[in-house]
Amino acid sequence: MMALPRPGQIAVKNIGPFDLGRLARLHRGCFEDGWSRSDIAHLLSLPGSFGLIARCYERGLSAIDGLRGVGFAICRVVRDESELLSIGVLQPWRQRGVAGTLLEAAMARAHAAGAETMFLEVAVDNVPAQTLYEMHRFQRVGTRLDYYHRPDGRKISAYTMKASLYEPRSTVTSD
């Protein structure tokens, strides 16, 4: 029998083939222009790519039914560099440590795969995400003008951020 986390506890696991639909629903729940199942499958099929899903156990539901996918991270490692391609947490679960737990797990997994650095892009108007990244050792290293194209037609620039990967702080469960 699988040991369930305590209510509210965050469990991070590797994405498996049966998680693609769940991951696509999570992505659509986090972003206006969410990725499809086939978009995600394509990204995860690239060499060095991996995905993580954060699950929380909800009180009042029985056994495995109480586990809810609440966030995700998708990354890619190429030689000694990695890139955080996307990370998101569903609105009701934000400000509960889920994004930080996912980011630490992604950084640890990338480091274990041989990456020494991690890069990411973040919209210049996404201050909460920038704060999260800065708390996890990321520093701004550049700006990409008009990088994001919003569904309403607006273009938003992005900061490129970089962190050195060392001393992994997190582990991922394999179930």
The CATH number covering residue 131 comes to: 3.40.630.30
Provide mean pLDDT across the span 58-84. 80
Provide mean pLDDT across the span 3-12. 62
Are the C-beta atoms of residues 71 and 53 closer than 8 Å to each other? yes
Would you say residue 59 lies in a domain?
yes
Number of domains the chain contains: 1
Tell me: the pLDDT tens digits for 138-159? 999 999 999 998 888 899 999 9
Q: What is the 3-state secondary structure (H, E, C) of 69-111?
A: EEEEEEEEEECCEEEEEEEEECHHHCCCCHHHHHHHHHHHHHH
Containing structural domain, residue 122: 10-164
Are the C-beta atoms of residues 85 and 102 closer than 8 Å to each other? no
Q: Are strands 155-164 and 117-123 parallel, antiparallel or unpaired?
A: antiparallel
Would you say residue 130 lies in a domain?
yes
Q: How much is the pTM?
A: 0.83
Provide mean pLDDT across the span 60-88. 83
